[in-house]
A and B are shown apart, each in its own frame.
Chain A
Amino acid sequence: MSVLLRPEPVAIRKPDTPAPSPILQMKGVCKGYGSGVTHSEVLQNINLNIREGEFLAVVGFSGSGKTTFTQLVAGLIKPDKGTITMEGEPVTGPSPDRGLVFQNYSLLPWLTVRGNIALSVNSVFKDWSSEARREHVEKFIDMVGLSHAAHRRPHELSGGMRQRTSLARTLAMKPKMLLLDEPLSALDALTRSQLGDEILKIWEEERQTCLMITNDVDEAILLADRIVPLNPGPSASLGPAFTVGIDRPRNKTELNDCEHFKALRNAVTNYLVAVRQKARTAEQAATKHLKFRLPDIQPEDLNRKGRAIHNQPPR
């Protein structure tokens, strides 16, 4: 237990190297839902710089505001306080520049794999010739290995194939930055590791700026350059970043024997568990003084004469 409660393992953390300018910057971002008494703060004081070309993973427990975080970055919701800027411009709404891969695929069920990808290509690259757009669509179907299933509709695909379609749809928009909202969490364990490898492979080819939200530490270490833990909510904030110093290309089976990998995994996990424990203790402490104090009353003797029945006429 003492290992788990170690508050901040610093062994693995390396000093941040002077980095290229951030492509996306979050400054003092707060977001809550509800108003008045029912208002609950989900994210508080989020500060984050995402550098050009890096793969950043945000790791957190479920319910700690991960989805809210993604939606903020994607521009689907607006922060209550603070600013989000991308390449110096404030983020005012969703944009194809920040391609979002949805947790539950969000494929349109009435379109085929090709149709789903073509929809995004056609609406983002309006000025291309139809020939160029068609080639572009085929290229990305091919990239995720779905050429044989391009004519199928989402309900005829397995979960992994759906997520690959979703990934291809987003990649085909040529976003400046890729947002992956728990891309693997709806998949079974085998498909998960396979698709994880594929994302890694695609990313290592394209070297695109990528922000992944996940609840799986292994996955984060395998894919990311930096890992930022999301302290559990309510009022979640970001913890200190862990740099993943494992050389690329990475191989999952080799990683299992890598000491650095093991140490990093322990460090991140311990940090998250410790922070959650602290949050729980704080919560308990906060509710403690709210406990009702029971009145200190001794039971009376109900058999005492003249007391039992009050509405009797006095004798």
Chain B
Amino acid sequence: MNWRGGLLKFCEVAGLPIFEPFVRLAAGEDKKEQFVGIAKYVLLPIVAIALFLGFWAMAANTVVTDSAKLPSPKATWDAGAQLIAMHYEQKQADRLAKQEKVGEAVRYMAEAKAYGEAAEKATGAKKEALEAKSLSLKKRAVSAVNYEPSSAPTFIDQIWTSVGTVFFGFLLATLVAVPLGVLCGMSPWFNAALTPFIQVFKPVSPLAWLPLAFIVIMWYYAGYSAGETFFNKAFLISATTVCLCSLWPTLVNTTLGVASVDKDFINVADVLRLSWAQRLFKIILPASLPLMFAGMRISLGVGWMVLIAADMLAQNPGLGKFVWDEFQNGSELTYARIAFSVFVIGMIGLVLDRIMIFFRNLVSFGNPAPA
């Protein structure tokens, strides 16, 4: 396959038809047709976005209360740029502080060494005093080296925390939902037993789950103080909530996928007299992967939506908490920052969705999902 074919295939599998006309244009295909494609997938969206920004700017001039006003696109952009700049400034400051501490540690070590050498020459009580001095200097050096800047998490830190939380919760949900779904799909009896739970719990909002997740985590971590546990409590509460909410689409889709494996494939397995495990791993699981991944895609989307609410409530450092804190702050930048984080949340959701489409298309041979 030449490079064009490879790139086009990638566009299809990754669910990025937007790049297709560019690839074809670069390969020297019919120009007119490609420009139509570009107009459709690129220019038209740009025009729509411009229109949206125009309406937004107009609305920003109109929606004004005594204490606050709707941020304009410009204000939002500036607030965003500032947030990102703040992150780099903060990191720079942290790095400097760390460097300083390391320098300090080196100095302490040099001094300790000097005291140590002096102690070797000295005798009696003086030697003991010098050794003690050297030891305390070494200890200070170690603590200086291990110094971690304790500045408040910046916006970008919050993003990473959120992404980490959602992936952890999603992973947990997948680990629970896929085996359960496979069992449900393979055994109508098991499915009948589980159906009431699925039907009842599926529509429950994250806000209702959160207090329950909260007490379970609190019970599990009772007797530990903040730094002692491997996971942060707030992180676990958020992740558990995400897990509980994003369980259901994967579970339902896996069940459907396993239950609706093509009868012909089952016949093939029958004729070959495959064992139960072979049948599961060679026929049923590969055949149900596309639907499974379709479910996981919905799950990840739901998880990301739920996470923001869960972060707000659980006070887990993340985008939700950021929005909530900004809202409580009430500075003049508040609403611009919140508007900016709305876009960031949306963009990350988009990226997560694309990733899942990519995986889904990888496993559905000859039948890629529409983007």
Which residues of chain A have a CB within 8 Å of any CB of chain B? 74, 76, 93-96, 98-100, 102, 104, 106, 108-110, 119-120, 123-124, 153-156, 173
Residues of B near A95 (CB, < 8 A) are 271, 273
Report the minimal beta-carbon distance from A152 to chain B, rounded to whole angstroms.
Answer: 11
Listed A/B pairs (25) with beta-carbon separation below 8 Å: A74-B267, A76-B267, A94-B270, A94-B271, A95-B271, A95-B273, A96-B273, A98-B271, A99-B271, A100-B267, A104-B264, A106-B262, A106-B264, A106-B265, A108-B265, A108-B283, A109-B365, A109-B367, A110-B287, A110-B365, A123-B278, A124-B272, A155-B365, A155-B366, A155-B367
Question: B363 in the interface, Cβ–Cβ < 8 Å?
Answer: yes
Nearest 7 pairs of A and B residues by beta carbon: A155-B366, A106-B264, A94-B270, A123-B272, A109-B365, A110-B286, A94-B271
Once A106-B265, A108-B265 are accepted as A-B contacts, the answer to whether A76 and B270 lie under 8 Å apart by CB is yes
Q: In the docked arrangement, what's the CA distance between A109 and B288, Å?
A: 11
Residues of A near B363 (CB, < 8 A) are 110
* Among A96, A106, A124, A155, residue most surrounded by chain B Cβ atoms (within 10 Å): A106
Report the minimal beta-carbon distance from A165 to chain B, rounded to whole angstroms.
Answer: 12
Question: B107 in the interface, Cβ–Cβ < 8 Å?
Answer: no
Residues of A near B366 (CB, < 8 A) are 109, 153-156
Residues of A near B264 (CB, < 8 A) are 102, 104, 106
Having A93-B270, A96-B271, one finds 17 other A-B pairs with CB under 8 Å, namely: A74-B267, A76-B267, A76-B270, A94-B271, A94-B273, A96-B272, A98-B271, A99-B271, A102-B264, A102-B268, A106-B264, A109-B366, A119-B272, A119-B282, A120-B272, A123-B272, A155-B366
Report the minimal beta-carbon distance from B232 to chain A, rounded to whole angstroms.
Answer: 40
Residues of B near A98 (CB, < 8 A) are 271
Chain A, Cβ-Cβ closest to B275: A123
Q: In the docked arrangement, what's the CA distance between A23 and B264, Å?
A: 26
Question: B53 in the interface, Cβ–Cβ < 8 Å?
Answer: no
SS of A interface (majority): loop
Chain B residues within 8 Å of chain A by Cβ, number: 20
Once the chains bind, are A123 and B267 in contact (CB under 8 Å)? no
Chain B, Cβ-Cβ closest to A153: B365
Chain A, Cβ-Cβ closest to B274: A123
Q: In the docked arrangement, what's the CA distance between A148 and B148, Å?
A: 61
* Among B271, B278, B365, residue most surrounded by chain A Cβ atoms (within 10 Å): B271
Once A110-B286, A119-B282 are accepted as A-B contacts, the answer to whether A100 and B272 lie under 8 Å apart by CB is no
Q: In the docked arrangement, what's the CA distance between A123 and B269, Å?
A: 10
Chain A, Cβ-Cβ closest to B283: A108
Q: In the docked arrangement, what's the CA distance between A98 and B268, Å?
A: 12
Chain B, Cβ-Cβ closest to A169: B268
* Among B267, B286, B289, B363, residue most surrounded by chain A Cβ atoms (within 10 Å): B267
* Among B262, B268, B287, residue most surrounded by chain A Cβ atoms (within 10 Å): B268
Chain A, Cβ-Cβ closest to B363: A110
Report the minimal beta-carbon distance from B329 to chain A, rounded to whole angstroms.
Answer: 53
Once the chains bind, are B271 and A100 in contact (CB under 8 Å)? yes
Once A94-B273, A108-B283, A108-B286 are accepted as A-B contacts, the answer to whether A102 and B267 lie under 8 Å apart by CB is yes
* Among A94, A96, A99, residue most surrounded by chain B Cβ atoms (within 10 Å): A94
Chain B, Cβ-Cβ closest to A71: B267
